[in-house]
């Protein structure tokens, strides 16, 4: 299996260089959301790449029928992988340890939701599946031009058995 995400990450770098993630503040300075950018790069690193040169799935993804640039791991996996659920040794030893953990989960979930909203506002993700029955929502990463994004979505919908909606 080929390394996942490196082409996706390169696409994010190109979008960043074009100013896709910058927002003008009221004082006239540019800013960005580091939390949203962290989430986007995480999503890109754990999803199958898209062959941008041929505008088609990579050979590995095609052979296995895996959707490219499709994130469905949810908030908790992201939070766990980035250490956002940890508590101090003192908290862990207290009788309120579970309460501290639940607070961390709640805060991480809220940060994830805010970042998802930002990524949607930037136009770099699209929700294809809603969360249901304990399964997280599924998000398509829109890291190319319109033609490429349409091809990535078509492939993802085909792999996931979702209707083609344009």
* Residue 104 and residue 111 in contact, taking contact as beta carbons nearer than 8 Å: no
Residue 57 main-chain phi, psi, to 5 deg: -65, 155
Q: From residue 147, give the alpha-carbon distance in Å to each of 20, 54, 142.
A: 18, 12, 11
- The CA distance from 128 to 40, in Å, is 16
- The CA distance from 153 to 26, in Å, is 35
Q: Is residue 33 part of a domain?
A: yes
Ordered DSSP codes for 20-70: TT-EE-TTS-EE--HHHHHHHHHHHHTSB-EETTTTEE-HHHHHHTPPBSE
Q: Considering its fold, how many domains does the chain have in total?
A: 1
Q: Is residue 98 part of a domain?
A: yes
Q: pLDDT (tens digit, 9 = 90+) per residue, 69-100?
A: 999 999 999 999 988 988 999 999 999 999 99
| pLDDT reported for residue 122 | 95
Strand partners, 127: 139
Can you give the pLDDT of all 166 residues of the chain as single tens digits? 455 667 898 999 999 999 899 888 899 998 899 999 999 999 999 999 999 999 999 999 999 999 999 999 999 999 999 889 889 999 999 999 999 999 999 999 999 999 999 999 999 999 999 999 999 999 999 999 999 999 999 999 999 999 987 6
The closest alpha carbon to 67, from 2, 131, 153, 3, belongs to 153
Q: Is residue 84 part of a domain?
A: yes
pTM: 0.89
Q: Is residue 166 part of a domain?
A: no
Q: Which domain holds residue 31?
A: 6-160
Q: Is residue 51 part of a domain?
A: yes
Q: Is residue 139 part of a domain?
A: yes
């Amino acid at each position: 299996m080929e390394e996942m995400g490196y082409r996706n990450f390169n696409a994010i770098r190109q979008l960043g260089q074009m100013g896709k993630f910058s927002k003008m503040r009221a004082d006239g300075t540019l800013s960005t959301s580091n939390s949203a950018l962290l989430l986007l790069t995480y999503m890109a690193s754990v999803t199958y790449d898209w062959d941008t040169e041929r505008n088609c799935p990579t050979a590995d993804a095609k052979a296995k029928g895996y959707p490219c640039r499709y994130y469905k791991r949810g908030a908790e996996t992201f939070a766990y992988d980035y250490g956002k659920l940890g508590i101090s040794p003192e908290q862990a030893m207290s009788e309120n340890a579970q309460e501290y953990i639940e607070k961390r989960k709640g805060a991480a979930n809220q940060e994830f939701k805010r970042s998802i909203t930002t990524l949607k506002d930037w136009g770099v993700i699209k929700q294809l599946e809603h969360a249901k029955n304990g399964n997280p929502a599924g998000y398509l990463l829109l890291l190319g031009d319109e033609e490429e994004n349409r091809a990535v979505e078509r492939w993802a919908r085909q792999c996931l058995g979702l209707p083609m909606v344009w």
